[in-house]
Amino acid sequence: MHRRALFQTSATLGLGALAGCASPGAAQPAVKTPFGVSATHVPIMGSDMLFPVRRIYCIGRNYRAHAIEMGSNPDREPPFFFRKPTDAVQNVAPGGVADHPYPALTKYYHYEVELVAALHKAGRNIPMVTALDHVYAYALGLDMTRRDLQRAMADEKKPWEIGKSFDKSAPIGPLHLASQTGAFASGAIWLKVNGGVKQSADLGQMIWSLAEQIAKLSEAFELMPGDIIYSGTPENVGPVVRGDVIECHIDRLPNLSVKIV
């Protein structure tokens, strides 16, 4: 397969024939459907295979300073989870700058740089000591947020979906196998806009470590192969406008860049 094809949508990858086989965790016999529905995949570095995405979990307020800037008290309110739809994924190839569309309805569009873990093992009530065995690979991701809409819904005690779970709200770089990278317990995580540093922290500052996130998530949901976890963003989230270029970094992963268009 030509390299570029990996970063096109699955619809153009000829995967439409698989559209009827989306039952959780198990391949099913082909079924007839009146139309195809695209599946979501993320490229795996050094492999011609694509990672099939089942669910996207996101952890909120997992760095103390970010929790405080969002108006909560991390000593009293633990992190929590929300989800994005799988088709929120925007695959971004390293070494280039992908166009990222400024979304509809918002006037306050925010970046959040995050470490992403991709799972390949199922589990319920996973103990922390074995939690990282469930991680197949890691990636650099952006949890793009329509902050004005998120806040408006939060003020009304309504769900966040319109602020968090919209099209292309989850840019992600290619996956890097955990067997090759090892764990990401610490290391620099930063984000620049137009070359200026906006977010800069260390992965070791997470309130819930990745192992703890997996353990806690698995108490609420049965985790399955194909699930991915956005592990939260550090402080100093902020807005971008059309024309801005975001560059993000996590030590030992290639940088990810998008231009807001």
Chain positions contacting Mn ion, by CB under 5 A: 112, 143, 233
Least distance in angstroms from the C-beta of 53 to Mn ion: 17
Least separation in angstroms between residue 28's CB and Mn ion is 33
Q: How far is the CB of 13 from Mn ion (least distance, A)?
A: 28
Give the Cα separation of 8 and 117 in Å (integer): 21
Q: Is the dihedral of CA 245, 186, 202, 63 positive or negative?
A: positive
| Rounded least distance, CB 20 to Mn ion, Å | 32
Question: Which of residues 111 and 136 has its CB atom nearest to Mn ion in the complex?
Answer: 111
Return the number of the residue (15 or 116) whose C-beta is nearest Mn ion. Answer: 116
Q: What is the dihedral of CA 192, 193, 198, 201, to 10 degrees?
A: -20
Residues 6+ apart with CB under 8 A from 130: none
Residue closer to Mn ion (CB basis): 15 or 57: 57
Instruction: Specify whether the CB–CB gap between 125 and 238 falls below 8 A.
Output: no
Residue 237 half-sphere exposure toward CB, CA atoms < 13 A = 27
When CB distances to Mn ion are compared, the closest residue is: 143
Measured from the CB atom, is 87 or 143 closer to Mn ion? 143
Residue 29 burial by Cβ neighbours in a 10 Å radius (0-12, 13-18, 19+)? exposed
- Cβ proximity to Mn ion: between 51 and 230 the closer is 230
Q: Give the nearest distance from C-beta 81 to Mn ion in angstroms.
A: 10
Bridge partner list, 249: 190
Q: What is the smallest separation between the CB atom of 235 and Mn ion, expressed in angstroms?
A: 12
CA 36 – CA 109 distance, rounded (Å): 32
- Given the complex with Mn ion, which of 42 and 116 has the nearer CB atom? 116
